[in-house]
Amino acid sequence: MDQFFQQLVNGLTLGSLYALIAVGYTVVYGIVQLINFAHGEVFMIGAFGALSTYLLFFDGQTGVWILPIMIVGAIIASVVTAVAMERVAYRPLRNAPRLAPLITAIGISVFLQELVRVFYDRIPFADFPSAKQRIPFPQLDGVSGKAVEVGDVTIQRSAIFTVAALVVCAILLWYFINRTKLGRGMLAVSQDPDTARLMGINVDRIIVVAFALGAVLAAVAGVSQGLQNNNIDFKMGFIAGLKAFTAAVLGGIGNIQGAVFGGLVLGVVESMATQYVPGQFGGGTWKDVWAFVLLILVLVFRPQGLLGARVVDRA
């Protein structure tokens, strides 16, 4: 039974990470009906933004007060990437056939990965390591180091940070969407863009805000991932993005609570599969396969997701 709780904790940690990224997919989809395939790369660039901030200003220090500044660095990097992506690549294609934005997204994804891989150590006025191998992520007091033991369950400090980050972000997100003018504008646009425009909402601006909002959460997720794995690399966005998309679909794409819920469910299912799928098909090596099987089953049998999507007949 203690194994169960251990896996539950692992699952919730993993799930919090998925949830943070999944919100980005869901927010953008809810407003422009676009699967932003390159969102995983926004997450990756967030992690690199945090690392760069650390290397530029605090190299060698370990105080926990650095963490908020790293997060701000991550957010800046992610938001700039996401907004530029929307402006340069997606906006001109807004009325194009469905295939075009999807292929563009694949292009952006490959482009951003390679940009980081090739040019990270060539950024002028900074002495960054080459991104061709994994780069160690800074370890700070308080959020890394000795794990916390609760009974028989081991909880990594970075896991506590991740879950806490999700809780804080979820509360802020709820406040932003329901209590601010911009947030309510987003709700309006996702319900009916044309009417929203007639009511005086600047739809273009709302779309940019949606991309930026997703990027903020992805940046936080990028920092969490770095703390958890102790290292980051240019490929980390692909699988994480795919899993997060699965989470978004699982919860019902376009539905923000759904994305958080779907992320947690996916994380727990993955962890439990590692522990409880019997025989040779269990264990860590097959967990990605089970995640994708879950994705396909959900898409085929319940495309509106567990909580139901705001936009049902989208495919």
Partner 1 sequence: MSIPTLPDAFVEKHAAKGWPVGLAGVALVIIGTFMSWSFDPNILGDLSVYGYPGGLQILAIILSLLALVLLLTVKGPLASRLGQWLDAALGLRALGLWLLIYMVGVILAIATDSSGLVNVDPGGWISFVGAVLVFAGSQVIPLRELRDLGRARLPGWFEIAAVAVVMAGVLFGAAYALAREDAWSFVLVLVFAGGTVAAMFRTGTMGWFGHVATRRRKVLTLAAFAVAFFFPFTQQGSDANMSIATSVLIFAATAIGLNIVVGLAGLLDLGYIAFLGAGAYVASSLSRSAFATIDWHPPFLVIVLLGGCVSATLGLIIGTPTLRVSGDYLAIVTLGFGEIFRFSMFNLDGNNGPNLTNGPNGIPGIPELAVGGFNFGDEHVVAGITLGRFSNYYFLLLLLMAFVILVFTRLNNSRIGRGWVAIREDEKAAEAMGVNVFGLKLLAFAVGAFLAGLAGTIKAHQDGATSPDQYIFLESAFLLAAIVLGGMGTIAGVLLGATILKLLPEKLRFFSEYRLLLFGLTLVLMMRFRPEGLVANKRRLLEFHEEDEKLATAVESELVEEAK
Site string for partner 1, 243-272 (x = CB under 8 A): --x---x-----------------------
Site string for partner 1, 137-176 (x = CB under 8 A): ----------------------------------------
What are the Cα distances from residue 45, in Å, to 59, 60, 100? 19, 22, 24
Closer residue to partner 1 in complex, CB, 268/295: 295
Name every residue whose Cβ is closer than 8 Å to that of residue 11 and which is 6 or more positions away in sequence: 264, 267, 268, 269, 270, 271, 272
Other CB atoms within a 10 A radius of the CB of residue 231 amount to 15
Task: Decide: helix, strand or coil at residue 278.
Answer: coil
Least distance between partner 1 and beta carbon 131 (Å): 13
Which residue of 101, 185, 226, 305 would you call a contact of partner 1, by CB under 8 A? 101
Which residue of 26, 52, 78, 104 would you call a contact of partner 1, by CB under 8 A? 104
Of residues 35 through 74, those in contact with partner 1 by CB under 8 A are: 35
Residue with tokens 């990437």: 81
Of residues 3 through 42, those in contact with partner 1 by CB under 8 A are: 35
Task: State both tokens at 223.
Answer: 């920092």
Least distance between partner 1 and beta carbon 56 (Å): 24
Position 94 contacts partner 1 (CB under 8 A): no
Instruction: Give the distance from CA 184 to its chain's centroid.
Output: 23
Position 103 contacts partner 1 (CB under 8 A): yes
Least distance between partner 1 and beta carbon 2 (Å): 25
Q: Angle at CA 57, nearest 5°, toward 53 and 63?
A: 90
> What one-character-per-residue DSSP string does 158-192 give?
HHHHHHHHHHHHHHHHHHHHHHSHHHHHHHHHHH-
Least distance between partner 1 and beta carbon 166 (Å): 24
Which residue of 171, 180, 281, 308 would you call a contact of partner 1, by CB under 8 A? 281
Instruction: Find out whether 75 and 273 touch, Cβ atoms under 8 Å.
Output: no
Least distance between partner 1 and beta carbon 142 (Å): 36
Task: State both tokens at 22.
Answer: 């999944």
Which range binds partner 1 by CB under 8 A, 74-82, 184-192, 210-218, 276-284?
276-284
- What proportions of the chain, in percent to the nearest 5, are helix, strand and coil? 70, 5, 25
Position 288 contacts partner 1 (CB under 8 A): yes
Least distance between partner 1 and beta carbon 249 (Å): 8
Helical packing angle, 203-229 and 236-251, nearest 10°: 120
Which residue of 58, 128, 176, 286 would you call a contact of partner 1, by CB under 8 A? 286
Instruction: Find out whether 23 and 166 touch, Cβ atoms under 8 Å.
Output: no
Beta strands in the chain (DSSP E): 135-136, 148-150, 153-155, 231-232
Which residue of 205, 296, 308, 312 would you call a contact of partner 1, by CB under 8 A? 296
Which residue of 1, 2, 59, 97 would you call a contact of partner 1, by CB under 8 A? 97
Position 277 contacts partner 1 (CB under 8 A): no
Residues in contact with partner 1 by the rule CB under 8 A: 35, 89, 92-93, 96-104, 106-115, 118, 238, 242, 245, 249, 280-281, 283, 285-286, 288-289, 292-293, 295-296, 299-301, 303, 314-315
